[in-house]
Copies of this chain bind each other. A is one copy, B any other.
Amino acid sequence: MTSNNEKLDINYFYNGVLYGDRTILSQAITLAESSLNIDKEDFRLILKKILPHTGNSIRIGITGIPGVGKSTFIEVLGMYLIKKYKKKVAVLSIDPSSPINMGSILGDKVRMNELSRSDNAYIRPTPSKSKLGGVAENTRESLLLCEAAGYNVIFIETVGIGQSETTVHDMVDFLIMLQIAGAGDDLQTIKRGIFEKIDLLVLHKAEANNSLKQTEKEYHNFKQMFSFFSLKESNWTPRVVKCSSYEKYGFDDIWKIISDYIDKTKASIFFEKKRKDQNKKWYDVLVNQKINNLIFNDKDMVHEILKYRNQVSKESIEALNLSDKLIEVLKKKFN
């Protein structure tokens, strides 16, 4: 790795990531997460070189409230795919700032104990940034880097707060929501709009000794509800599966459903269309970022912005009036 004063060695990252070197992959992701503008631009050079080698994974989103067992689920499903299908599995997350007891570097790895020790798995801890937008952006770039490094199943985990499900939906091929089986959560407790986004609902922690009757009831209710849905553009009716990570049951079904979805949507070109739409959304994000850079890296502009900002007082009216004045100045720069 180069020092801060030297030009970044793009080939070091390019070769390292493509070779699947996990240390270099981590270094590249750290670079992606850097909030320094200069690092970001350097990183984009690496990304450009790597991008032709991306796109060859199944991208799976995992959402559900804290305590539903997302990490355990990913651990068991990940190990299942590594052992049974010789997959290479990467785990990323996309979360707004987390409490101390969640999502720390040690945390992720401890919670996915077996997976974190596997040669065929890569677990990237939650970045500690607090801006959802920034984290989402980094997760997308990390996803592409993992693909270039040869990971062919990539999990993106989210706690499902605020906008995060929409964000993850815009990034993955297949979205799974976990619910605690038999907890009596009914449709009322589920966020608006989530059912248009998920492809599979997993009733998790469905251990044999655990409120079997309630789980059965939920299973049938959800199944029936999904069957009432008008068909989505994907032509896919969301599925429901009972699953226990503890008893390792339900995973054959789950993988069969995911594979089935991928086959069907690839046949119908929906798969391709969805990725194209997702790239358009990424383009929008990039355009917004770059427009901001354009303005906030322009010395004259920043001078004007700060000049008016310094006049803001404790009266709210001035914030509004001064921002209007500033815009009149900026308008003259556009012609």
A residues at B contact (CB < 8 Å): 44, 47-48, 51-52, 54-55, 96-101, 130-132, 144, 161-163, 166, 188-192, 272-273, 275-276, 279-280, 282-284, 286-288, 290-292, 294-295, 298, 305, 308-309, 312-324, 326-327, 330-331, 333-335
Say yes or no: B100 contacts A320, CB within 8 Å: no
- Is A52 within 8 A of B317, CB to CB? yes
Most chain-B CB neighbours within 10 Å: which of A272, A316, A319, A320?
A316
B residues near A286, Cβ cutoff 8 Å: 319-320, 323
Given A323-B286, A327-B294, A330-B291, also A51-B317 (CB < 8 A): yes
User: How far is A192 from B103 in the complex, measured between Cα atoms in Å?
Assistant: 12
Residues of chain B within 8 A of A305, CB atoms compared: 287
Considering the chains assembled together, what is the distance between the CA atoms of A283 and B327 in angstroms?
12
Residues on the B chain within 8 Å of A97, using CB: 162-163, 191-192
In the bound assembly, the distance between CA atoms of A250 and B333 in angstroms comes to 57
Asked if B335 contacts A309 (CB within 8 A), the reply is: no
6 sample A-B contacts, Cβ–Cβ < 8 Å, listed by A number: A51-B316, A132-B162, A162-B162, A279-B319, A283-B309, A294-B330
Q: A99-B189, A291-B292 are in contact. List 4 more A-B contacts (CB 8 A).
A: A97-B162, A100-B188, A100-B190, A294-B331
- Asked if residues B96 and A189 are in contact (CB atoms below 8 Å), the reply is no
Identical subunits present: 2
Shortest Cβ gap from A147 to chain B (Å): 9
Q: Which residues of B contact A55 (CB under 8 A)?
A: 314-316
- Per the bound structure, the CA–CA distance linking A144 and B320 in Å amounts to 12
**Contacts A130-B163, A163-B130, A283-B309 given: A54-B191 contact, CB under 8 Å?**
no
Complex CA distance for A295 and B330, rounded to whole angstroms: 11
Residues of chain B contacted by A319 (CB below 8 angstroms): 279-280, 282-283, 286
| Distance, CA A223 to CA B331, complexed state (A) | 53
Which residues of B are found within 8 Å of A292, using beta-carbon distances? Answer: 288, 291
A189 to chain B, nearest CB (A): 6
B334 pairs with A279, CB closer than 8 A = no
Other-chain contact of A47, B162, B280, B320, B322 (Cβ < 8 Å):
B320
Query: Does the CB pair B130–A166 fall under 8 Å?
Result: yes
Q: Complex Cα distance A309/B305, Å?
A: 30
Q: Within the complex, which residue of B188, B290, B317, B326 is in contact with A101, where a contact is CB–CB below 8 Å?
A: B188
Q: Which of B48, B280, B309 interacts with A280 by CB under 8 Å?
A: B309
Chain B residues closer than 8 Å to A313, beta-carbon distance: 276, 279
Contacts of A291 in B (CB 8 A): 291-292, 295, 327, 330
Q: Which of B192, B290, B295, B317 contacts A48 (CB 8 A)?
A: B317
CA separation between A298 and B132, bound complex, in Å? 28
By beta carbon, the residue of chain B nearest A284 is B309
A321 touches B96 (CB 8 A): no
Asked if B323 contacts A279 (CB within 8 A), the reply is no
Q: Which residues of B contact A323 (CB under 8 A)?
A: 283, 286-287, 290
A308 to B318 Cα, complex, angstroms: 39
Query: Distance (Å) between the CB of A280 and the closest chain B CB?
Result: 5
A160 to chain B, nearest CB (A): 10
Name the residue on B nearest A98 (C-beta). B191
